Amino acid sequence: MTTSYDAPRRTRPGLGRGLVAMIGLLVVMWVLELVDQATRNSLDPLGIEPLSTESLDNVLWAPWLHGSFAHLASNSLPFLVLGALVVMDGWRRWLVTTLVVVVASGAAVWFLSPPGSITLGASGVVFGWMTYVMLRGFWTRSPGQIATGVVLFLFYGGMLWGVLPSAPGISWQAHLGGAVGGVVAASLARPSRASASSW
């Protein structure tokens, strides 16, 4: 004899909660940049320096620091929107995805960037979240997530050219590593047989 029942479905954060959380992170990032500018770029050494063992732990800090207010401003809107979309999959999924993306982006910078350079900024995270949102639906088989990914690709797919070498001062290495990390994180989002995505 077998007994089956439907497990209670966990409530996931809505878009509003995701936006509030990302606004909170952005406030922290803007405060850090204010401190950096007020102290003559004293936080910039926390960026990633290629092939420097002393810089390895900076992989975790560099995405939250920026080289200028203009640099941070250019990342703020996509960070807000894409981060909120990832949060809608749940806080644990957001944390796992973000960690995978940060490490993958940082590793690409550490191995591939020109010697003597220092890389800062959230663009690698943005690229990782973007590829995650674009592709997760193909693993979760969620029609809503597939549709979201397709719409995102139609509007922002051109950004993916940023994984290729382009203008000086733009870290295509961070973009490439982040994008690869997003694909890996999306593959990890495959639900178990006992669960399914809710949107």
Would you state the pLDDT for residue 13? 87
pLDDT at residue 195, as a whole number: 45
Q: Which pLDDT does position 81 carry in this prediction? A: 95
Within 13 Å, how many C-alpha atoms sit on residue 76's CB side? Answer: 16
**3-class state of residue 102 by DSSP:** helix
Q: In the chain, what are the domains?
A: 15-188 (1.20.1540.10)
pTM of the model: 0.87
Provide the sign of the torsion angle of the four alpha carbons 96, 174, 137, 16, taken in this order: positive
Please list the pLDDT of the chain residue by residue as tens digits (199 residues).
Answer: 444 434 445 678 889 999 999 999 999 999 999 999 999 999 999 999 999 999 899 999 999 999 999 999 999 999 999 999 999 999 999 999 999 999 999 999 999 999 999 999 999 999 999 999 999 988 888 888 888 888 888 887 777 787 878 777 789 999 999 999 999 999 998 765 444 444 4
**Cβ contact 163:127 at 8 Å:** yes
Distance separating alpha carbons of residues 182 and 184, to the nearest angstrom: 5
Give the containing element (helix H, strand E) for 20: helix 15-38
DSSP string, 32-92: HHHHHHHTTSTTGGGSB-TT-GGGGGGGTTGGG--SSHHHHHHHHHHHHHHHHHHHTT-HH
Residues 75 and 90: their CA atoms lie apart, in Å, by: 23
The token duo for 33 is: 């940049």
